[in-house]
Amino acid sequence: MEWKANWIWDKSGDHPRNQWSCFRKTFTVLSDYESVILSLTADTKYSVYINGELIGSGPVRGWTTEWYYDQYELSGLKNGENVIAVLVNHYGIGTMQYIEGRGGLLAQIDFYRKGDVVDQLITDENWKTANHDGFIKESIKMSNCLSWSEIYNAGLFYGDWEQLDFDDSSWVNAELIGAFGTEPWKTLIPSDIPHLTNEPVFPKSVLSLKEVRPISQNFSIDLKPTFFPGELDCNSGKIMQGYVATEIHSEKDVEGVISLTFDAHAEAKWEFKLNEFEYKTQNGKYETVNLRKGINLLLVDVGGSFHEPRMHLSFEFPGKIDLKAPFRLNDCKFLAFGPFYTNTRIQNGKPVNKTVPIIKEYLQMKQVSSLLELESFKPWAKVIPNEHVCTNNVSFLSFFKKDIQTHCLDFQHQNMILPNNSFTRVEPMENGDPEYLIDFGKEYLGHIEFEIEADEGNIFDFFLFESIHQDGRIEHTFSLNNSLRYIAKDGRQVYRSFIPRGFRYMMLTIRNCKAPCKIFHVKVDVTTFPTGNVGSFNSSDYLLNQVWEISKHTIRMCAQDTIIDCPAYEQALWTGDSYNISLMNYYAFGNYDLIRRCLRLIAKSVYRSPLPESHVPSGWQNVLTAWSILWMMACREYYRYTGDIEFIKEVYPELKLTVQRFQEFINEEGLLEISAWNMLDWAPMDTEHKIVTHQNALLVDALSQTAYLASIIGKKDDEVNFLALSEQLKRAINKYLWDDKEKVYIDSIHEDGTPSKTHSIQTNLIVYLTDCAKGQRSDIIEEYITNPPESFVQIKSPFVLFFYYQALMRLGKNDIVIDNIRDNYGYMLENDATTCWEGWELIEGDFSRSHCHAWSAAPTYVFGVLFLGVKPLEPGFTKVSISPNLNGLKWIKGSVPIPQGKIDIYCKDLGEYVDLQITLPDQVEAQITISKNTKVQVNSKPYSTETNKIII
């Protein structure tokens, strides 16, 4: 298409914080247009309406310089007047899915007749715009990874602003930013995937009704704009030294509690001082304190290292207390003192200085215990604006509370989850707020929608989470504010959240409920990558069938506009995860276009960082070395499964550049030596050093695989060079990273040249899989894999189990694979899992941090290979190996997606022989291999296991 539209915006500025802007334009449609196409994009997110009907949201994530736009065919336009209305949410900050650009909207409607554009509607200064006052900007981010929590007051804005008959005469005209191609959106690209789904799902049951009372006051303070002014990124490793102070005004001497909470990833001191008394606390702990009548000085030490510099203060005292900033610097409640020191450590392969200087004033301020003593630090004081302080943090109100009473749950309370016209009548409670616990039956990612009848000012707080223990304890992820607040207008009303959230359980609390209200329905509009239910597995083993189902559902919920790691906590495209997840997806769904999109996005990160970044496109710039390498390997696997040589040609420049960049990190001994994030598993491996064995081994394999890709597109010189590099690195690994005394590959070499004393299954597993171990060393490693020594660091996440299963299947140890799956995934199922967990006890006392994590869905891949035995022999499945194996089961059946369609397999042990039925597309050549000494019939014909041919 040819863009004629202009980028437009309102008067909120280039980088408005949590901005919600409305845009409208009426237009006339004639009856003789053959088709009408809307092309649309915005920074950051949009929802578009035609004549009041929501038709889509977007755009898909991308790099700012290569921004994506969507297209819609407008088939339901009226003859005569119509209106297009667009709601744009601009974040104003980076997240782990978005790099801050600037606020903007671009839209164009092309009217076609006989294939030609005969009329157009474009965004320009004639569009009307208004701030959407219903969205409360004084919010807090849902996590350090995501955007702002949604707080909506239905009584503060027009409920019909998207409708044709709405009077927008009081709105102002939009402002022009520039024409198509203006900065920062240099290039516009049409979305390379279909629109995501919108599938309504109702809950399965209402589990309980309680009467609760939240802690009386809560303040969530975003410290980043004050301590790191002008930094709009999402970078981790933010080091700062400073304090936050407030005056607590009390009418009398009184005892109460204070709770201080930081982000769960924070390396903070958790220290505060109330008058002359010092407190050392921990996240979420209630500290009993005494206020004296009058003014009390609260001083919080906020020094430390943070991913997201934010702080939460909760108070519970008899009667209300008032907070005021010292020195009466306007009407704010808090002052910051400092920063005495700040730094942002970016791990991107370059050395990071981890020393933190000792600042004299920072240490001196620790002695302050009165307002008089605080005066001398006044030059360091900075106002924390009230718009950076959220008092509606639903997550804190939902778990910092008192359970007053559990009420009876008669059937009428189930009406809110039924897909009919019934409703639940909610009565006011005497001493607290009604709180419902609702179970959706599975974890989903989508937009919450509900219909209620309420009085103006009724508050509906939705707090979402993933897991409940058998004893009823809820797993709260303290750094995840997975919530929505809706403040009702008067009467019957419907609301659909604009931000999609991942969850299984919903805690719905109705506050300020002075008269009965009605809840007609609560549901979630599930949003996932659109896909057919192609891949399948079923067998005579019920447990394994359930493992397949939770694995497949995990993959589906983590398939969005990219592969994502998890629906709830991050929703990020992690580069290393894409290797495992893509292979799992190939067997579960075959979403090749989604995988291609992910690999392409990752490739572009080499123009911002020395190596492909750990997750993209992200406001957190970071290199995780193994993840960079796994991207190279994922490109090779993509070609193996699709045969898409044009894509390999497209990303080859970035593949070659990545190899060249890695060469810059090869030391004199021929080993990869790099300062970056070296994680492989959530286990105590000794990898926080520059020379790490598993990274060297992975690079050996990646260089070999990239050499193959070079060969298929005619880059013979590169092929030779890459293979030579691979062999040189392999020799260095075996020379320097093998402990001949202990007969093991060590985890790392320390900076002083000392070999690591830590031995891990993970390191030796990767060395084995990448064929770096030969001869006797390989035999030794095989024994470690089949019988892991107790003294070794053990595998702690399903991510590494994927590689473990690959190694065991290579060794023919299918029985160990199946037993391990029964143990680990069976444990998840025993504890009510409907999706696969990220790991085990990543947070003390909890099952996991994330309960739906795509890197953990290994059984979708394993069952396709181990049971159904389907693997491509030639790129794109033009020739396929089929080797079904019952592995002791009575029968198995399933389907494997391939680019030409699917392969269906049914295999059953009939005692005298094994009955095997195979259906596959005509254009696919199959090589069927059956284990020796097995009598087999294939498609009702005898089959020779000696010749691997049907007997005529």
What is the model's pLDDT at position 320?
Answer: 79
User: How far apart (Å, rounded) are the C-alpha atoms in residues 87 and 85?
Assistant: 7
User: How far apart (Å, rounded) are the C-alpha atoms in residues 174 and 7?
Assistant: 10
pLDDT (tens digit per residue) in 622-636: 999 999 999 999 999
Longest dimension (CA), the chain: 101
What is the model's pLDDT at position 628?
Answer: 98
What is the model's pLDDT at position 847?
Answer: 80
User: What does each C-alpha distance from 469 to 241, 474, 476, 506, 507 come to in angstroms?
Assistant: 39, 6, 11, 15, 15
User: How far apart (Å, rounded) are the C-alpha atoms in residues 290 and 254?
Assistant: 6
Q: Is the pLDDT of residue 800 over 50?
A: yes
User: How far apart (Å, rounded) are the C-alpha atoms in residues 715 and 681?
Assistant: 35
Report the b/e string of 22-39 with b at 16+ CB within 10 A: bbbbeeebeeebeebebb
Asked if the bond preceding 509 is cis, omega within 30° of 0, the reply is no
Q: Is the pLDDT of residue 73 over 60?
A: yes
| Residue whose C-alpha is closest to residue 939's, from 909, 914, 912 | 914
Q: In 251-353, at which residue ranges do the beta strands (DSSP E only) sit?
A: 254-262, 267-268, 271-274, 277-280, 287-291, 294-301, 304-306, 310-316, 322-324, 334-344
Q: Scan for tokens 């990160």, then name that residue.
A: 605
Write out the DSSP string of 374-398.
HGGGGGGEEEE-GGGEES--HHHHH
What is the model's pLDDT at position 952?
Answer: 44
What is the model's pLDDT at position 947?
Answer: 72
User: How far apart (Å, rounded) are the C-alpha atoms in residues 597 and 447?
Assistant: 24
CB of 193 closer than 8 Å to CB of 594? yes
User: How far apart (Å, rounded) are the C-alpha atoms in residues 259 and 397?
Assistant: 12
User: How far apart (Å, rounded) are the C-alpha atoms in residues 881 and 430?
Assistant: 69
pLDDT (tens digit per residue) in 494-522: 999 999 999 999 999 999 999 999 999 99
pLDDT (tens digit per residue) in 377-434: 999 999 999 999 999 999 999 989 999 999 999 999 999 999 999 999 999 999 999 9
**Cβ-based neighbours of 452, under 8 Å, separated by 6 or more:** 458, 460, 488, 492, 493, 517, 518, 519, 520
Asked if the bond preceding 875 is cis, omega within 30° of 0, the reply is no
Task: Give me the mean pLDDT over the 887-897 stretch.
Answer: 97
HEC readout, 763-832: HHHHHHHCCCCCHHHHHHHHHHHHCCCCCCECCCCHHHHHHHHHHHHHCCCHHHHHHHHHHHHHHHHHCC
> Is the pTM higher than 0.85?
yes
What is the model's pLDDT at position 842?
Answer: 67
pLDDT (tens digit per residue) in 342-365: 999 999 998 888 889 989 999 999
Helix or strand holding residue 56 (H, E): strand 53-58
- Taking residue 66's Cβ as centre, other Cβ atoms within 10 Å add up to 15
Tokens standing for 472?
């009823």
User: How far apart (Å, rounded) are the C-alpha atoms in residues 935 and 646?
Assistant: 43
By the 10 Å C-beta count (0-12 exposed, 13-18 middle, 19+ buried), 478 is classed as middle
| Residue whose C-alpha is closest to residue 164's, from 60, 24, 18 | 24
By the 10 Å C-beta count (0-12 exposed, 13-18 middle, 19+ buried), 387 is classed as middle
The radius of gyration of the chain from alpha carbons, rounded to an integer in Å, stands at: 30
Q: How many CA atoms lie within 13 A of 288 on its CB side?
A: 1
User: How far apart (Å, rounded) are the C-alpha atoms in residues 585 and 681?
Assistant: 21
What is the model's pLDDT at position 49?
Answer: 98
**According to DSSP H, which parts of 145-274 are helical?**
224-227
**Cβ-based neighbours of 912, under 8 Å, separated by 6 or more:** 935
What is the model's pLDDT at position 733?
Answer: 98
- Taking residue 910's Cβ as centre, other Cβ atoms within 10 Å add up to 11
| Residue whose C-alpha is closest to residue 485's, from 374, 368, 396, 389 | 396
| Residue whose C-alpha is closest to residue 59's, from 71, 76, 42, 83 | 42
Identify the residue with better confidence: 863 or 328: 863
By the 10 Å C-beta count (0-12 exposed, 13-18 middle, 19+ buried), 790 is classed as exposed
User: How far apart (Å, rounded) are the C-alpha atoms in residues 143 and 282?
Assistant: 19
Q: Is the pLDDT of residue 541 over 50?
A: yes
CB of 488 closer than 8 Å to CB of 514? no
pLDDT mean across residues, the chain:
95
Please give the angle made by the CA atoms of 671, 677 and 682, to the nearest 5 degrees: 110
| Residue whose C-alpha is closest to residue 782's, from 793, 791, 774 | 774
Asked if the bond preceding 789 is cis, omega within 30° of 0, the reply is no
pLDDT (tens digit per residue) in 8-30: 999 999 999 999 999 999 999 98
Amino acid identity, position 355:
T
User: How far apart (Å, rounded) are the C-alpha atoms in residues 42 and 56?
Assistant: 12
Collapsing DSSP to helix, strand or coil, 250 comes out as: strand
What is the model's pLDDT at position 291?
Answer: 96
Rounded percentage of the chain residues whose pLDDT exceeds 90: 90
CB of 311 closer than 8 Å to CB of 260? yes
CB of 570 closer than 8 Å to CB of 96? yes
Give the pLDDT band (50/70/90) at residue 470.
Answer: confident
Q: In this structure, are strands 304-306 and 238-250 parallel, antiparallel, or unpaired?
A: antiparallel
Collapsing DSSP to helix, strand or coil, 452 comes out as: strand
**Cβ-based neighbours of 913, under 8 Å, separated by 6 or more:** 935, 936, 937
By the 10 Å C-beta count (0-12 exposed, 13-18 middle, 19+ buried), 358 is classed as exposed
Q: In 828-900, at which residue ranges do the beta strands (DSSP E only) sit?
A: 870-872, 879-882, 891-898
Q: Which phi-psi region, left, alpha or beta, contains residue 126 (left: φ > 0; alpha: ψ -120 to 50)?
A: alpha
pLDDT (tens digit per residue) in 551-569: 999 999 999 999 999 999 8
With the C-alpha atoms ordered 189, 190, 192, 196, is the resulting torsion angle positive or negative? positive
What is the model's pLDDT at position 844?
Answer: 67
User: How far apart (Å, rounded) are the C-alpha atoms in residues 688 and 748?
Assistant: 8
**Cβ-based neighbours of 291, under 8 Å, separated by 6 or more:** 248, 250, 253, 254, 255, 256, 274, 317, 321
Q: Scan for tokens 């994506």, then name that residue.
A: 68
Identify the residue with better confidence: 912 or 99: 99
Sheet containing 128-131: order of strands: 53-58, 45-50, 80-90, 19-29, 128-131, 172-173
pLDDT-wise least confident of 352-356, 788-792, 862-866: 352-356
Tokens standing for 711?
């060969």
Tokens standing for 780?
């030794």
CA dihedral 882→887→888→891, nearest 10 degrees, is -40
User: How far apart (Å, rounded) are the C-alpha atoms in residues 85 and 50?
Assistant: 6
CA 672 from centroid of its chain's CA atoms: 30
User: How far apart (Å, rounded) are the C-alpha atoms in residues 323 and 81?
Assistant: 53
pLDDT (tens digit per residue) in 151-187: 999 999 999 999 999 999 999 999 999 998 999 999 9
- Helical axes 577-588 vs 858-866, angle rounded to 10°: 50
CB of 227 closer than 8 Å to CB of 242? yes
